[in-house]
Amino acid sequence: MRLRTRPASGGFELYAWFFMRVSGILLILLALGHFGYMHLLNGVEKIDYEFVARQYRTPFWKTYDLLLLSLALVHGANGARTLIDDYIHARGWRALFLAALYTASFFFLVVGALVIVTFQRVR
Amino acid sequence: MVYRGSEGMWAWVAHRCAGVAVLLFVFVHVADTALIGWGPKYYNLFVKLYSGPAFRLFEIFLAAALLFHALNGVRIMIIDFWEGGTDIQKPLFYGVMALFLVVFIPGAYIMLSPIVRSMLGG
């Protein structure tokens, strides 16, 4: 017997399913790359304002962080949406949890992007 | 196929728990990084907190969640996109666990050694 994990309904759920796999591959590189660079190659004790300011002098790290931020939040929010659909059955509670999830994800996406894009070194 | 209570189910449960843990941390991490907008003073104060012993354990836990989610994600994609994937989902799970330990143990050693050294007064 072969499992059919792909949504049979097509439409949005199929796109969401496909997005999780594509963004997942990219996030393996971006998120593990970020964690490895920060925590293994450098270490938390080396990270300070100067460290970030040095990184953000180059468009490479800004682009890297923007891509990581947006993919992680959309991938995470869609994953959490699946969990809410699976576990919260009461309509009112489900609407509340979904609203909280979408608000938080959108808020952190905007704040995170603004932090990266508007960064100005202060001495 | 027996799924309930076997390796596949635990992989599925752990994948969901790790995913939620990482998402919640991403929220926190955006908030703490936002401090760089106010200059070095507040950001450096907060990152110093992150390098304390309590947060190092948290760091290890985050590493475990992220690494498991990533490796099991590859397992899911093999099951989804490769014809024979479903038949070997159990061996794939053991492969995930083996790779997890191979990467996690040296990683945890690297992350914990500075804190152990500082606690021993070195």
Question: What would the pLDDT profile of A11-41 be if each residue is shown by its tens digit?
Answer: 999 999 999 999 999 999 999 999 999 999 9
C-alpha span between A70 and A108 (Å, rounded): 9
CATH number at residue A56: 1.20.1300.10
B44 in contact with chain A, both atoms CB, cutoff 8 A:
yes
- Domain coverage including residue A92: 12-117
Report the residue of B9, B13, B27 to disrupt the A interface, i.e. the one with the largest count of A CBs within 10 Å. B27
> B60 in helix, strand or coil?
helix
Q: Give a yes or no: residue A86 inside a domain.
A: yes
Q: Give the pLDDT score at B83.
A: 85
Locate the chain B residue with the closest alpha carbon to A7.
Answer: B80
Residue type, A47: I
Rounded to whole angstroms, the Cα distance separating B66 from B109 reads 17
Whether B70 and chain A come into contact, CB under 8 Å, resolves to yes
pLDDT at B6 over 50: yes
Residue A60 pLDDT exceeds 90: yes
Residue A62 counted as domain residue: yes
- What average pLDDT does the segment A79-104 reach? 97
Total domain count for chain A?
A: 1
pLDDT tens column, B23-55: 999 999 999 999 999 999 999 999 988 888 888
Please identify among residues 58-97 of chain A the ones whose CB lies closer than 8 Å to any CB of chain B: 69, 72-73, 76-77, 79-80, 83
Domains, chain B, with CATH or none: 7-119 (1.20.1300.10)
Tell me if A70 is assigned to some domain: yes
Residue A7 inside a domain? The answer is no
- Spatial contact of B93 and B113, defined as CB atoms under 8 Å apart: no
Size of interface A-B (CB pairs under 8 A): 104
Structure tokens at B47: 């990152």
The C-alpha atoms of residue A63 and residue A69 are separated, in whole angstroms, by 10
Residues B72, A69, A103, CA angle at the centre, nearest 5°? 100
Going by C-beta distance under 8 Å and a sequence separation of 6 or more, which residues neighbour residue A90? Answer: none
Q: How far A3 CA sits from the closest chain B CA (Å)?
A: 7
Q: Is B113 on the interface with A (CB under 8 A)?
A: no
A107 inside domain: yes
Please check whether residue A3 lies inside any domain of the structure. Answer: no
